Amino acid sequence: HLRPPQREDGGILSRGNCRAKGGAPGFKVAILGASGGIGQPLSMLMKMNPLVSVLHLYDVANTPGVTADLSHMDTTAVVRGFLGKEQLESALVGMDLVIIPAGVPRKPGMTRDDLFKINAGIVQSLCEGVAKFCPRAIVNIISNPVNSTVAIAAEVFKRAGVYNPKLLMGVTTLDVARANTFVAEVLGVDPKAVNIPVVGGHAGVTILPLLSQVQPSCYFTKQEVEYLTNRIQNGGTEVVEAKAGAGSATLSMAYAAVKYADACLRGLRGDADVIECAFVASEVTELPFFATKVQLGRGGIEVVFPLGPLNEYERAGLEQAKKELKASIEKGISFVRN
């Protein structure tokens, strides 16, 4: 594309260094799968994030167009596009945060596990790149089935000798957004005023909203608990069916991914009390990975919070969730090991 004529003094604002204008810290972020249904709105929202100084868009298709388009937005982040495997290295070197929404989405009638066959290999090969070219970056995994793909990423990093469990996270923020939205609708309040921890994993019964821990605290009837739990667990399917073959949640997911990525960057900047739910390496249960509230900081995940008090309904849900999660995690691990 057209380049501006060179200025003799080199220009006042040297582009591409990792400090945003005014000396505020800026971070380098790569999005892998940037041309997709999630990737495009996610890239746009990250281009608008003042904490981002450099934004790398990587995909196996269409990144030149997406990059040219976004590069005309008059926000601080410098956008660069990368296309195909031979450009993965340049896309990843120097990154602070890598967000991965690459892979196929569900169609009506499919479970997230049905995506395993295709997405497992995609996540494996992209994480091999991360291990090689930016092993100290925080990695946000969006590609489904998250309950397996996070275990795949961990195995890839272990194999490469670079695994740091504090830097690897499965993004479950959309489950929390749905929980807040559906609960607010029942209570007749602004969703911004509600906060529900959602623990476990990111598929069907492994999505466990802890309605007893709703903030601000309130009481739900048995009927409300059953309705809300069911709607939160099947929120993704609601969108898949409404899109009728055109994919799964993309816009709400991009919103949720940016909410989580922004929390990671605020943590890196050193902000206090940055707390979100995420699917991470965990000792909260006997499983190696589990979603709970975590605190994000300069080193990635700094605290993994315990579950807190559960009622009888939630304890039963937890047992069900753990059974399915165990199988999904083992499937991911054995995919890489065998």
Active-site residue set? 202
Is 41 a binder of ligand NAI (CB under 6 A)?
Answer: no
The residue whose two tokens read 């031979």 is 86
* Strand boundaries in 174-288, DSSP class E: 198-200, 207-209, 274-281
Q: Which position's Cβ is nearest ligand NAI?
A: 36
User: Do residues 133 and 89 make contact, with C-beta atoms less than 8 angstroms apart?
Assistant: yes
How many whole angstroms separate alpha carbon 16 and alpha carbon 285? 43
Query: Of 35, 147, 229, 285, which lies in the binding site for ligand NAI, with binding defined by CB under 6 A?
Result: 35
Tokens, residue 80 = 């660069």
Distances 42 to 18, 66, 116, 261 between C-alpha atoms, Å = 20, 11, 23, 10
Nearer to ligand NAI, 50 or 64 (CB): 64
Is 197 a binder of ligand NAI (CB under 6 A)?
Answer: no
Query: Of 41, 105, 200, 209, which lies in the binding site for ligand NAI, with binding defined by CB under 6 A?
Result: 105
Residues 244-303 that bind ligand NAI (CB under 6 A): 247-250, 253
Query: Of 59, 96, 155, 276, which lies in the binding site for ligand NAI, with binding defined by CB under 6 A?
Result: 59
How many whole angstroms separate alpha carbon 278 and alpha carbon 281? 10
Nearer to ligand NAI, 20 or 280 (CB): 280
Work out the end-to-end distance of the chain between its first and last CA atoms, rounded to an integer number of angstroms. Answer: 46
Residue 301 Cβ, how far from ligand NAI at the closest point, in Å?
Answer: 17
Provide φ and ψ at 145, rounded to 5°.
-75, 115
Tokens, residue 232 = 């939160």
Residue 5 Cβ, how far from ligand NAI at the closest point, in Å?
Answer: 35
Distances 121 to 70, 97, 117, 124, 253 between C-alpha atoms, Å = 29, 21, 7, 5, 22
Tokens, residue 58 = 């990587």
Q: Does the annotation place 178 within a ligand binding site? A: yes
Q: What residues pair up with 28 in beta bridges, in sequence order?
A: 54
Nearer to ligand NAI, 235 or 317 (CB): 235
Residue 15 Cβ, how far from ligand NAI at the closest point, in Å?
Answer: 25
Q: What residues pair up with 301 in beta bridges, in sequence order?
A: 296
How many whole angstroms separate alpha carbon 77 and alpha carbon 18? 10
Distances 268 to 1, 10, 26, 262, 326 between C-alpha atoms, Å = 34, 31, 10, 10, 31
Residue 76 Cβ, how far from ligand NAI at the closest point, in Å?
Answer: 25
Q: One symbol per residue from 132 to 151: x for binding ligand NAI (CB under 6 A), - otherwise; what is it?
A: ----------xxx-x-----
How many whole angstroms separate alpha carbon 97 and alpha carbon 300? 10
Residue 221 Cβ, how far from ligand NAI at the closest point, in Å?
Answer: 28
Is 204 a binder of ligand NAI (CB under 6 A)?
Answer: no
Q: Does the annotation place 300 within a ligand binding site? A: no
DSSP-derived pairing of the beta strands 289-297 and 300-304? antiparallel
Nearer to ligand NAI, 103 or 297 (CB): 103
Nearer to ligand NAI, 49 or 173 (CB): 173
Query: Of 26, 41, 81, 101, which lies in the binding site for ligand NAI, with binding defined by CB under 6 A?
Result: 101
Measured CA angle at 201 (ends 241, 252), to 5 deg: 45
Measured CA angle at 178 (ends 172, 179), to 5 deg: 95
Candidates 11-19, 59-67, 152-160, 161-169 — which segment interacts with ligand NAI by CB under 6 A? 59-67
- The size of the interface with ligand NAI (CB under 6 A), counted in residues, is 32
Q: Does the annotation place 33 within a ligand binding site? A: yes
Is 168 a binder of ligand NAI (CB under 6 A)?
Answer: no
172: part of which helix (H) or strand (E)?
none
Candidates 96-104, 131-139, 222-230, 314-322 — which segment interacts with ligand NAI by CB under 6 A? 96-104
The binding site for ligand NAI (CB under 6 A) comprises 32-33, 35-39, 59-61, 101-106, 115, 119, 122, 126, 142-144, 146, 171, 174, 202, 247-250, 253
